[in-house]
A = this chain, B = another copy of it.
């Protein structure tokens, strides 16, 4: 979305305060409740979003009045930042408020939350406010040509031919990147860096026309947004290749269905078509993989996933129950038991065949 449109959305919030004051009303605004029981499944978008329960933020109380004051200051700052084409990190924003007098944030979690509130009310992502995360973007390797709007104008980069073996590093705001063309049949999102490097060394990207994306564990917002956009704009299927443990299943779920903490962003970031291609508990048996014992924490997480609506399918129930029975977990790299080529010559081709 253009900066001016984002600015308009933000100013609408501030101008509502102004109207309320002019009409002798106490300034306030409403927000959806951000709790587990206010998460509903959006059939159309096939992601989890906030439901209709709302809370009121009003200047009636002292705390509420401070909140409205901070909101006004924050909108003013964001407006200025957009006007000047600047950007700042969540951490910088917290320090910038040092000079806002009574509107100063006491801890960073306060400013982080208020930015999320503005995302919800204005229906924009914080990236549109030019608010950057600390976290790094993911790297991309494969037959994809992109155009990035950089500090110094547009740059066209081919993510195989114009980069080193470590790939193209996406900027913290992926929406500055346009996808020009590709020669790919699939996206493979990979949990660990070791496996990413393995696939590139083995030439998986070329043999299977794959764009390989490194998730780096629980993926950053920009990584999830990247996957969503590649899936949507390039009509490419997304496969998620992870370890075999409950935390990896959560990685998959956050890619495919979105998370409770940022359910307001599910429609920007979740890729409901994403397919799980991680190591499965049944693979531990099938391939006799090296394993570690499940810890108590692992077991608790698996039990909690059995109750999680996002894992409410025959496939997940069967696999999770099998894993609890086995009492074992396994890693992507355990496939190296059968040599360095096993993953690209045998495992992934077999999985792709099964999944069609």
Chain B residue with Cβ nearest A84: B340
Q: Can you show 19 pairs from A to B with CB atoms below 8 A apart?
A: A86-B201, A89-B194, A92-B333, A95-B337, A96-B336, A96-B339, A132-B194, A132-B197, A136-B193, A137-B166, A139-B169, A148-B165, A150-B164, A150-B165, A155-B162, A164-B177, A165-B176, A166-B172, A169-B169
Could you say which residues of chain B place their CB within 8 Å of the CB of A150? 164-165
> What is the 8 Å Cβ interface bit string for chain A, positions 337-356, against chain B (1 contact, 0 not)?
10110000000000000000
Q: Quick check: B86 and A134 within 8 Å, CB to CB?
A: no
Q: Which A residues contact B (CB, under 8 angstroms)?
A: 86-89, 91-93, 95-96, 98-99, 132, 134-137, 139, 148, 150-151, 155, 157, 162-172, 176-177, 192-194, 197-198, 200-201, 203, 216, 290, 331, 333-337, 339-340
Q: Quick check: B197 and A95 within 8 Å, CB to CB?
A: no
What's the least CB distance linking A326 to chain B, in Å?
Answer: 18
Q: Quick check: B135 and A91 within 8 Å, CB to CB?
A: no
Q: Give 7 closest A-B pairs by Cβ, nearest first.
A: A166-B169, A89-B194, A92-B336, A95-B336, A148-B164, A98-B337, A169-B169
Contacts A164-B168, A340-B92 given; indicate if A290 touches B98 (C-beta within 8 A): yes
A150 CA / B163 CA spacing, docked (Å):
9
Could you say which residues of chain B place their CB within 8 Å of the CB of A333? 89, 91-92, 95
A183 CA / B92 CA spacing, docked (Å):
30
Return the contact of A162 from the options B95, B162, B172, B176 (Cβ within 8 A).
Answer: B162
Q: Quick check: A88 and B336 within 8 Å, CB to CB?
A: yes
Could you say which residues of chain B place their CB within 8 Å of the CB of A93? 336
Q: Quick check: A167 and B164 within 8 Å, CB to CB?
A: no
Interface centre among A167, A170, A172, A193 (most CB of B within 10 A): A193
Could you say which residues of chain B place their CB within 8 Å of the CB of A96? 336-337, 339-340
A99 CA / B336 CA spacing, docked (Å):
10
Return the contact of A157 from the options B148, B163, B171, B192 (Cβ within 8 A).
Answer: B163
A111 CA / B201 CA spacing, docked (Å):
22
Return the contact of A86 from the options B135, B194, B340 (Cβ within 8 A).
Answer: B340
Could you say which residues of chain B place their CB within 8 Å of the CB of A193? 134-136, 172
A216 CA / B132 CA spacing, docked (Å):
16
Chain B residue with Cβ nearest A88: B340
Could you say which residues of chain B place their CB within 8 Å of the CB of A176? 165
A135 CA / B217 CA spacing, docked (Å):
12
